Amino acid sequence: MKVTRVQALANEQGKLPTQFIRPAHERPGNSEVIEGVQVPVISLSQPHDVLVKEVSRASSEWGFFLFTDHGISSSLIQRLQEVGQQFFGLPQEEKESYANDPSSGKFEGYGTKMTKNQDETVEWIDYFFHIMSPPSKANYDMWPKNPPPYREVTEEYNKEMLRVTDEVLKLLSEGLGLEEKALKSCLGGEEIELEMKINMYPPCPQPELALGVEPHTDMSALTILVPNEVPGLQVRKDGNWIAVKYLPNALFVNIGDQIEVLSNGKYKAVLHRSVVNKERMRMSWAVFIAPPHDVSIGPLPELVDDQNPAKYSTKTFAEYRYRKFNKLPQ
């Protein structure tokens, strides 16, 4: 089936096509956005006990924080961004050879959401999605072959993401009063999955009427994202949308649904959305960290007792995903 890419629409001058116009209450132009509030910024070079406290606090109060001094070189982040930009700069025909097809279960590849019916609204975004880890699940044939360094750069970034993931999961485990391996082993241990989603938001003729990504929490355990320099991410805190400022080389860390469930609600999955820009293309590289599909996730028994009953039901990640995709209650 022929899919109209947002990138192609952006090249046609003019008005925003109707399927992108959000209902009035969802339009970024109609909602107050707080610009001045600072989201938590946490340096990974602090003493361990301070880090445990800061990460645990940010994850309980915000479900979101920025990491600095994480040890990933700025040149690696720059190369990751270059190969992603170069992919989206390829001729349309070449990008189409990677087209995904979520309706038939083919999630990996080049994608754009389509409307199922007339009154459904879509998002101003094209993306590329593929599994990075574990190697046994990575389908390297689906990774961009152009530009040629794509695979090498992405594998190098994947190694760094595995290292930072271990670090965050240890800190979060300790913040729950558990031993440092607790959360990772619940998430499949070495079988934990890392997925790359490159988000590409072309310039939008009427950004005040559209959204890049609608409000959602990530169904992952954690998401670690690096954006380009164009701002656009907003996180929900105490009933307000807070615009997240760009901080060069910082990692944006989201708590996702699976950590909220495992922690029995002590840590909160952050509600977030992204807005688009009239002049500039925004891009972001989101790494979703999730359990394998057959792993069951529920509140950790150590966190549940008579005073703290389980707030979530236990189910496999496959079941959770199915329910979330189909907007069924969890």
Give the binding site for ligand AKG (CB under 6 A).
197, 199, 213, 218, 225, 227, 232-233, 272, 274, 284, 286
Beta bridge partners of 203: none
Site string for Fe ion, 237-266 (x = CB under 5 A): ------------------------------
CB of 121 within 8 A of CB of 96?
no
Query: Least separation, in Å, of the C-beta of 217 and Fe ion?
Result: 7
The 64-68 sheet, strands edge to edge: 41-43, 64-68, 251-255, 222-227, 282-290, 193-201, 126-133, 109-111
Does the annotation count 218 as an active-site position?
yes
- Whole-Å CA distances, 198 to 186, 285, 309: 27, 5, 38
Catalytic, out of 48, 137, 216, 278: 216
Does the annotation count 216 as an active-site position?
yes
Does the annotation count 272 as an active-site position?
yes
Query: Least separation, in Å, of the C-beta of 87 and ligand AKG?
Result: 16
Q: Judged by CB under 5 A, which stretch of 32-40, 50-58, 139-147, 214-222 contacts Fe ion?
A: 214-222
How far is it, in rounded angstroms, from Cα 313 to Cα 328?
Answer: 14
Catalytic, out of 218, 237, 257, 268: 218
Helix (H, G, I), strand (E, B) or coil at 45: coil
Query: Least separation, in Å, of the C-beta of 272 and Fe ion?
Result: 6
Does the annotation count 170 as an active-site position?
no
Catalytic, out of 70, 95, 170, 272: 272
Q: Does residue number 123 form part of the binding site for Fe ion (CB under 5 A)?
A: no
How far is it, in rounded angstroms, from Cα 183 to Cα 262?
Answer: 8
Q: Does residue number 218 form part of the binding site for Fe ion (CB under 5 A)?
A: yes
Closest to ligand AKG by CB, 266 vs 273, is: 273
Beta bridge partners of 244: none
Q: Which residues contact 259 (CB under 8 A, 6 or more apart)?
A: 59, 172, 183, 221, 222, 267, 269
The residues annotated with a catalytic role in the active site are 197, 216, 218, 272
User: Where along the sequence are the contacts to Fe ion (CB under 5 A)?
Assistant: 218
